[in-house]
A and B are shown apart, each in its own frame.
Chain A
Amino acid sequence: MRITVEPGKCVASGLCVLVEDSVFDQDDATGTVRLLVDTDPPPDVRENVREAARVCPALAISITEDSRSDA
Chain B
Amino acid sequence: MTSIMNGETEEPMTDAALSYPFARDDACPFAPPAAYQRLRETEPITKVRLYDGREAWMFTRYEDIRTVLAHPAVSAETLAEDFPFLNPADKVSKRAQSFQRWDDPRHAERRRKLMPYFTIKRIERMRPRVRGMIEHFYGELIDAGPPADLVGKLALAIPSTVACDLLGVDYADHTFFETRFAVRLDRDSSAEQVRAANAELVEYVDRVVRSKYGQRNEDLLGRFVNDHVETGEVTHEDAVIDANLLLLAGHETTANMIALGTLALLEHPGELARIQRDKSLVPMAVEELLRYLTISQSMGVRLAKDDFEVSGCPIHAGDGLIVPVAAANYDDSVFGSPHTLDLSRPEARRHLTFGYGTHGCLGQPLARMELAEVFSTIFDRLPGLRADIPLDRVDFKKQAVFYGLRSLPVSWDDDAARTRRAARQEKGD
* Residues on A facing B (Cβ under 8 Å): 11-15, 17-19, 21, 26, 28-32, 51, 54-55, 57-59
CB 8 Å contact bits of B301-327 with A (1 = contact, 0 = none)? 000000000000000000000000000
Contacts of A51 on B, CB cut-off 8 Å? 349
The interface residues of chain A lying within 8 Å CB-to-CB of B411 are none
CB < 8 Å neighbour of B357 from A12, A15, A58: A58
Separation of A12 and B121 alpha carbons in the complex (Å): 12
Q: List B contacts of A54 (CB < 8 A).
A: 350
- A38 nearest CB across to chain B (Å): 19
- With a CB–CB cut-off of 8 A, which chain B residues contact A12? 115, 118-119, 362
In the complex, given contacts A14-B123, A18-B349, A26-B121, what are 19 additional A-B residue pairs having Cβ atoms less than 8 angstroms apart?
A: A11-B111, A13-B360, A14-B119, A14-B365, A15-B349, A18-B365, A18-B368, A21-B120, A28-B122, A29-B116, A30-B115, A31-B112, A31-B115, A32-B115, A54-B350, A55-B350, A57-B354, A57-B356, A57-B357
16 contacts between A and B (CB under 8 A): A11-B360, A12-B118, A12-B362, A13-B354, A14-B118, A14-B364, A18-B120, A18-B283, A18-B349, A26-B120, A28-B119, A31-B116, A51-B349, A57-B70, A57-B355, A57-B360
Question: In the assembled complex, how far is the CB of residue A30 from the closest CB belonging to chain B, in whole angstroms?
Answer: 6
CB–CB B120/A11 < 8 A: no
Task: Answer whether residue B377 sits at the interface, using C-beta atoms and an 8 A cutoff.
Answer: no
Query: Which residues of chain A are near B354, meaning CB under 8 Å?
Result: 13, 57
Interface residues of B (CB under 8 A from A): 70, 111-112, 115-123, 283, 349-350, 354-358, 360-362, 364-365, 368
**Would A26 and B119 count as touching, CB distance under 8 A?**
yes
With most chain A CB atoms within 10 A of its CB, the pick from B119, B357, B360, B362 is B119
Cα of A15 to Cα of B368 in the assembled complex, Å? 10
How distant is B245 from chain A, measured CB to nearest CB, in Å? 16
Measured between beta carbons, the chain B residues less than 8 angstroms from A19 are 349
A62 to B398, CA, bound (A): 40
Can you list the 5 inter-chain pairs with the closest CB atoms, starting with the nearest?
A31-B115, A12-B115, A57-B360, A14-B365, A31-B116
CA distance A11 to B119 in the complex (A): 10
- Are B70 and A59 closer than 8 Å at their CB atoms? yes
Chain A residues within an 8 Å CB radius of B368: 18
Query: Which single residue of chain A is at the shortest CB-CB distance from B358?
Result: A11
Q: Which residues of A contact B70 (CB under 8 A)?
A: 57-59
Asked if B115 contacts A11 (CB within 8 A), the reply is: yes
Chain B nearest Cβ from A46, distance in angstroms: 15
Task: Find chain A residues with CB under 8 A from B350 CB.
Answer: 54-55
A17:B349 contact, CB within 8 angstroms: no
Q: How far is the CA of A59 from the CA of B66 in the complex (A)?
A: 11
Which B residues lie within 8 Å of A31 (CB)?
A: 112, 115-119
User: Could you tell me the distance between the alpha carbons of A18 and B121 in the complex, rounded to whole angstroms?
Assistant: 10
B120 and A14 contacting across the interface, CB-CB below 8 Å: yes
Partner of A58, one of B118, B358, B362: B358
